[in-house]
C-alpha cells in the first residue's frame, strides 16, 4: 500500500464511474466544474452563467433529479442537458429505522463499495452523520469501522450524495428553508476525514453554498483522530467546528487504543488544538472521550483531563461517549456511576462534560458501530456461500447479495 508524505494512508480516489449510457453525473460537481461541463456541451457562452445558476438551484436547493423539472430553463437547453448529463444518487441498499427515531442508510456507490450514513433527530435539531471513507485505515481498537479491511476515499460527489439521499428520505426538498430536518452535519461516520482532505473540503463547500443547500459552517463539525498536519488547514480552509477524538490522557494508553498516537502524540495534538483557527470560548473544540471500563475512566484520568485542558489553555468541552459495543470487541462500557463521577470531576474543573446519550444502538448506528454489511464476511466466506448457493441451484457461482444481514 502506498503511503502519503505525512505517513497517512493515501488511498486512491476513484474517478467518477461513467453512467452506462456514457453520460456524466453532475451531482457532486462544484460550481467551476458545472460551469465547464455546461460550456462544453455547446450552451451559448453568454448563457452559461445563468444556466449554471439555474441548474445549481434545481439540483442543490430543490433536489430534482430530472432536467424536465427545471422549469425556468428553456426546453432546448433542457434537452441538451439531458442528452449529456444525468443527476444520479447512489443506491440505498437498506434504510433502517431505530426505535428512537435514528435512521441508518447503507449506501452503495457505483463501484460496489458501501458506506453508512446516520440521521439523528433531537428536539431542537436533526444531525446527519456522514462518512468520508469506505472503512478506515486507523484501526482504533475500540472502533468497529477500524476493523474493515477494504478502504478507499469517498469522492466529493459521494460525500454530498449522502446528504441528498437523507433529504430525499426525510422529504426535505419540498420546503428547503423552513422544513429543514437536517440542520447539522457531523463528519463522524466511517473514516478519517482529514485523510481525505480535498474531497471533504470540496463536498462541504458545496453543502455550504448560499444558493444551494445553505448549511452554515457553524452547523458543521468535523471529527478527527488527530491528523495534526491537516488540523490547521481544516480551520483555515474549511472553517468548520472541530472535534478531536482524545479518548486518553497519557501517551501509553492513547497509543495502545489509537495507533495514530505513535505518529502524532498527545502534545502535538493538543498544541494543534490550541492553534486551531477560529477556536475561542464561544466556539470551543469538542474532545470526544469514549468511556472504556478499566482503560481510561478512573477519577485520576478525569483530573488529568482537566489538567491537560488547562495546561494548553484550550477553549474546549468534553463529550463523554458511553462505549458502544460491537460483536467481537474486547472492551466494555464503563459503569454508569463511574461515567457520572468522571463527568462531575471534569465539570468541577470548570469544563463542560456532558454524557452523550447513545442513539440508534438497536440498529448498530451509534458512534463507532458502523461497518458495512459486505465487510462483515470475509471474501472466502462469501465465495463459500456463493458456491453453496450455486450447488443448490445447480448453477455456476454468482455474486452474493451484500445487503445487511
* Piece of 13-21, 30-38, 131-139, 163-171 that binds ligand SF4 (CB under 6 A): 131-139
Binder of residue 288, out of ligand SF4, ligand SAH, none (CB less than 5 to 8 A by kind): ligand SAH
Q: Are 93 and 108 in contact (CB under 8 A)?
A: yes
Q: Does 223 bind ligand SAH (CB under 6 A)?
A: yes
Q: Grid coordinates standing for 227?
A: 491528523
* Piece of 136-144, 163-171, 329-337, 385-393 that binds ligand SF4 (CB under 6 A): 136-144
From the list 116, 172, 192, 375, the catalytic residue is 116
Instruction: Give yes or no: 367 in active site.
Output: yes
State the pairing for strand pair 220-224/241-245.
parallel
Q: Does 143 bind ligand SF4 (CB under 6 A)?
A: yes
* Piece of 96-104, 217-225, 277-285, 294-302 that binds ligand SAH (CB under 6 A): 217-225
Q: Are 369 and 333 in contact (CB under 8 A)?
A: no
Instruction: Give yes or no: 116 in active site.
Output: yes
Q: Phi then psi for 285, rounded to 5 degrees?
A: -80, 140
Q: Does 162 bind ligand SF4 (CB under 6 A)?
A: no
- Sign, CA dihedral 57-62-65-71, equals negative
Q: How far is CA 303 from CA 55, 226, 286, in A?
A: 54, 22, 17
Nearest of 168, 223, 205 to residue 30 by alpha carbon: 205
Q: Grid coordinates standing for 401?
A: 447479495
Q: Does 301 bind ligand SF4 (CB under 6 A)?
A: no
Q: Does 136 bind ligand SF4 (CB under 6 A)?
A: yes
Q: Grid coordinates standing for 252?
A: 501509553
Farthest-apart Cα atoms in the chain, separation:
71
Considering only 288, 297, 301, 375, the residue that binds ligand SAH (CB under 6 A) is: 288
Q: Does 135 bind ligand SAH (CB under 6 A)?
A: no
Query: Which of the residues are catalytic?
Result: 116, 367
Residues within the interface to ligand SAH (CB under 6 A)? 136, 140, 142-143, 188, 192, 223-225, 245, 288, 290, 321, 323-324, 367-368
Amino acid at each position: 500500500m502506498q503511503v502519503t508524505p505525512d505517513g497517512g494512508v493515501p488511498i486512491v480516489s476513484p474517478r467518477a464511474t461513467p453512467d452506462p449510457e456514457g453520460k456524466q453525473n453532475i451531482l457532486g460537481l462544484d460550481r467551476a466544474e458545472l460551469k465547464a461541463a455546461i460550456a462544453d456541451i455547446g450552451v451559448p457562452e453568454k448563457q452559461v452563467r445563468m444556466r449554471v445558476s439555474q441548474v445549481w438551484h434545481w439540483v442543490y436547493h430543490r433536489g430534482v433529479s430530472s432536467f424536465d423539472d427545471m422549469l425556468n430553463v428553456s426546453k432546448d437547453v433542457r434537452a441538451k442537458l439531458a442528452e449529456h448529463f444525468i443527476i444520479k444518487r447512489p443506491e440505498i441498499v437498506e434504510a433502517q429505522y431505530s426505535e428512537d427515531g435514528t435512521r441508518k442508510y447503507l449506501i452503495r456507490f457505483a463501484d460496489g463499495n458501501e458506506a453508512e450514513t446516520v440521521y439523528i433527530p433531537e428536539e431542537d435539531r436533526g444531525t446527519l452523520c456522514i462518512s468520508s471513507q469506505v472503512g478506515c485505515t486507523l484501526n482504533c481498537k475500540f472502533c468497529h469501522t477500524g476493523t474493515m479491511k477494504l478502504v478507499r476515499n469517498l469522492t466529493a460527489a459521494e460525500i454530498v450524495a449522502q446528504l441528498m439521499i437523507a433529504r430525499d428520505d426525510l422529504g426535505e426538498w419540498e420546503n428547503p428553508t423552513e422544513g429543514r430536518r437536517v440542520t447539522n452535519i457531523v463528519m463522524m461516520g466511517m473514516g478519517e476525514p482529514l485523510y481525505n482532505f480535498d474531497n471533504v473540503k470540496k463536498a462541504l463547500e458545496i453543502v455550504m453554498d448560499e444558493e444551494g443547500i445553505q448549511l452554515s459552517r457553524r452547523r458543521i463539525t468535523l471529527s478527527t483522530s488527530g491528523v495534526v498536519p491537516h488540523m490547521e488547514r481544516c480551520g483555515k480552509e474549511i472553517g468548520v467546528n472541530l472535534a478531536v477524538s482524545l479518548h486518553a490522557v497519557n501517551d501509553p494508553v492513547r497509543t495502545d487504543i489509537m495507533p495514530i498516537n505513535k505518529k502524532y502524540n498527545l502534545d502535538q495534538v493538543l498544541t494543534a488544538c490550541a492553534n486551531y483557527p477560529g477556536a475561542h470560548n464561544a466556539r470551543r473544540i469538542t474532545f470526544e472521550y469514549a468511556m472504556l471500563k478499566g482503560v481510561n475512566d478512573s477519577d485520576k484520568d478525569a483530573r488529568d483531563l482537566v489538567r491537560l485542558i488547562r495546561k494548553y489553555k484550550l477553549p474546549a468541552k468534553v463529550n463523554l461517549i458511553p462505549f458502544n459495543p460491537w460483536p467481537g470487541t474486547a472492551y466494555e462500557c464503563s459503569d454508569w456511576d463511574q461515567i457520572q463521577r468522571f463527568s462531575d470531576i471534569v465539570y468541577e474543573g470548570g469544563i463542560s462534560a456532558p454524557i452523550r446519550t447513545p442513539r440508534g444502538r438497536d440498529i448498530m448506528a451509534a458512534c463507532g458501530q458502523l461497518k458495512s454489511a459486505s465487510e462483515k464476511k470475509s471474501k472466502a466466506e462469501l465465495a463459500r456461500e456463493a458456491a453453496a448457493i450455486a450447488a443448490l441451484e445447480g448453477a455456476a457461482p454468482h455474486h452474493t447479495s451484500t445487503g445487511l444481514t
